[in-house]
């Protein structure tokens, strides 16, 4: 009995010792995220104090996860902002919005949600951006690679791929994509919070 208790105590001690050393986090934000296209901050002490939603996906099909960030003025206050595209370059998320999604910068919106979904079944993730305060949803189609194998980026094809939303008071807060109809193509959903 004494041997069982001692072996149990030793096992618990070794297990807890191993468990506590299982993972360590080191803050490498300054070295791993490079931001250059942020505008409209109210607090200069913060990198970005705007309300945001984000989604992760391998946008350039290089096997590394990239990041898209959509932004608006905090809380339920109108105030369009630019959205951001961070590409994973050797473990560093680099703000390359101006190169691969320039319409994020030229067309500010009150973006509330973003979905990564392949809407045209070309094996490249597209971006469905859900906005509020009267802004129409946006669909950015991934252009894939050029003939030299270089990734081109995203183009806003909302006007040719999405109907104009005509609900009275557009206040979308969320969305999702999935094949509801069973035809093999993603359908896009939005949730409107307006009470009218």
| Domains: count for the chain | 1
Residue 7: inside a domain: no
- Is 44 a member of any domain? yes
Query: What is the pTM for the complete model shown?
Result: 0.78
Q: What is the mean pLDDT of residues 65-71?
A: 93
Residues 6+ apart with CB under 8 A from 100: 59, 85, 87, 151, 152, 153, 154
Classify residue 17: in a domain, yes or no. no
Q: Which region holds residue 193: left if phi is over 0, alpha if psi is between -120 and 50, else beta?
A: alpha
Contacts 24+ apart (CB under 8 A), 19-26: none
3-state secondary structure of 26: coil
**Can you tell me the distance from the alpha carbon of 109 to that of 82, in angstroms, rounded to the nearest whole number?**
7
Stretch 48-72: mean pLDDT: 90
User: Could you give phi then psi for residue 77, rounded to 5 degrees?
Assistant: -125, 130
User: Is residue 128 a contact partner of residue 69, using CB atoms and an 8 Å limit?
Assistant: no
Average pLDDT across the chain, whole number: 82
Cα 47 versus chain centre, distance:
17
As a whole number, mean pLDDT of residues 109-136 equals 91
Q: For residues 132 and 195, which has the higher predicted lDDT (pLDDT)?
A: 132
104 lies in some domain: yes
89-109 per-position pLDDT tens digit: 999 999 999 999 999 888 888
Separation of alpha carbons 14 and 135, rounded Å: 57
32 inside domain: no
CA-nearest of 65, 66, 99, 101 to 83 is: 101
For residue 74, tell me if it sits in a domain.
Answer: yes
Residue 13 in any domain: the answer is no
Q: What is the pLDDT of residue 27?
A: 81
Domain assignment present for 8: no
Domain range for 104 is: 37-192
């Amino acid at each position: 009995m004494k041997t069982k208790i001692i072996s149990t105590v030793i096992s618990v001690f070794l297990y807890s010792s191993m468990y506590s050393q299982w993972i360590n986090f080191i803050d490498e934000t300054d070295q791993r995220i490079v931001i250059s296209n942020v505008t409209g901050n109210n607090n200069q002490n913060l990198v970005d104090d705007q309300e945001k939603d984000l989604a992760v996906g391998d946008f350039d099909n290089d096997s590394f996860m990239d990041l898209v960030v959509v932004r608006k003025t905090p809380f339920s206050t109108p105030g369009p902002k630019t959205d951001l595209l961070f590409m994973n370059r050797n473990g560093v998320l680099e703000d390359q919005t101006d190169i691969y999604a320039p319409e994020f910068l030229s067309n500010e919106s009150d973006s509330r949600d973003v979905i990564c979904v392949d809407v045209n079944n070309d094996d490249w993730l597209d971006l469905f951006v859900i906005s509020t305060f009267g802004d129409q949803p946006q669909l950015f189609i991934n252009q894939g690679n050029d003939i030299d194998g270089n990734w081109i980026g995203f183009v806003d094809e909302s006007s040719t791929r999405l109907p104009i939303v005509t609900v009275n008071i557009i206040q979308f807060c969320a969305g999702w994509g999935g094949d509801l109809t069973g035809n093999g193509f993603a359908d896009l959903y939005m949730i409107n919070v307006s009470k009218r």
